[in-house]
Amino acid sequence: MRLAGAILVAAVVAALAAGAAWADGDPASDYLLAEQVFLPYDAKIPAADASALSSVIRSANQQGFKIRVAVIWSDYDLGSVTALWKQPQRYAKFLGAELGFVYKQRLLVVMPNGFGFNWPGHSPAAAYALLAKLPTSSTPSGMAKAATAAVQRLAAADGVKANAAAKGGSGVSRNAHDRIVIIVAVAAALLLGAALRLAIRRRAARLR
C-alpha cells in the first residue's frame, strides 16, 4: 500500500510539474536536466525502439562518452519555442544554452529533417560530418532508430562501442522498480526546471 501511495504521489507531482514545464519554454530543457533522453509525448514510439535508444545512450555514458538526446517529432514538442521547428542545429544551440548551468557535455537533437549537435567549447563540424549521410525519418519509430544510429556513430568515432542491452530482465519486481525510479526522476527534473525558471524570472523582475 505504501508503495502504491508513493507511486501515486510521484505521478501527481510529475503531472503538475509537467504542466508548468509545457507552459514555460521547451519541455526538453526541463526533462534533460536529469535524464539522458527526451522522447516526444505526442508520438507513439514503439517500446522496443525507445528501449534500444535509451540502452545505447546509457551504454555510451557508462563508457565515458557523455551525451544526452532530444527527439523532437513535431513543433508541439518545442513548447513555446516553435520558431525553431525543423531547425535542429539552431535548436541544439538553444537547448545547450538552456541546460548549460547543469550539463555541459554533448547534446544531440533529432528532428524529421536532420540532426543538431552541441558541445560547449567544441566545434560541431566533426559531428555534422559524421551525421551528414545518416538518414532521418518523419515516423516516430524511424526517428528513434535514427537517434540510436547517430549516438552509435558519434561514440564509435571516439572509440566507444555503444550497444543496446540484451533483451530479457529479472521479472516483474524489476519492472516495477524501474517505473518508480522513472516517475520520481521525471518529477524531480521537472520540478527543478520549474523552480529554476521561476527564480530567474523573479531575479529579472527585481532588476527592472
- Same-domain status, 26 and 44: no
- Same-domain status, 129 and 95: yes
Name which of 114, 118, 119, 157 is nearest 133 in CA terms: 114
Q: Which three cell numbers stand for residue 134?
A: 545518416
Q: How many other CB atoms sit within 10 Å of the CB of residue 115?
A: 23
Residue 182 CA neighbour count, 13 Å, CB half: 10
The pLDDT of residue 175 is: 37
- Same-domain status, 23 and 85: no
Q: Helices (DSSP H) in 75-171: which residue ranges?
A: 88-99, 125-131, 140-157
- Same-domain status, 21 and 69: no
Least confident of 126-130, 165-169, 174-178, 200-204: 174-178
Where residue 104 sits, what CATH number does that domain have? 3.10.310
Q: Which three cell numbers stand for residue 103?
A: 550539463
If you average pLDDT over residues 10-29, what whole number do you get? 54
- Mean pLDDT, rounded, of the chain: 81
- Same-domain status, 57 and 147: yes
Question: In angstroms, rounded to a whole number, what is the distance separating the alpha carbons of residues 17 and 191?
Answer: 5
- Same-domain status, 97 and 180: no
The pLDDT of residue 122 is: 97
Q: pLDDT (tens digit, 9 = 90+) per residue, 127-162?
A: 999 999 999 999 999 999 999 999 999 999 999 999
- Same-domain status, 70 and 57: yes
The pLDDT of residue 8 is: 45
- Same-domain status, 125 and 181: no
- Same-domain status, 12 and 98: no
User: What's the domain range around 17?
Assistant: 1-31+174-208
- Give 131 or 23, the one with higher predicted confidence: 131
Question: In angstroms, rounded to a whole number, what is the distance separating the alpha carbons of residues 22 and 76?
Answer: 9
- Same-domain status, 163 and 84: yes
Q: Please enumerate in sequence order all residues whose Cβ is within 8 A of that of 92, keeping only pairs 6 or more positions apart, or say none.
A: 107, 108, 109, 116, 117, 118, 124
- Same-domain status, 133 and 45: yes
Q: Whole-model pTM above 0.85?
A: no
Question: In angstroms, rounded to a whole number, what is the distance separating the alpha carbons of residues 39 and 150?
Answer: 15
The pLDDT of residue 166 is: 55
Question: In angstroms, rounded to a whole number, what is the distance separating the alpha carbons of residues 197 and 179?
Answer: 27
Asked if 68 and 95 touch (Cβ cutoff 8 Å), the reply is: no
Structural domains of the chain, count: 2
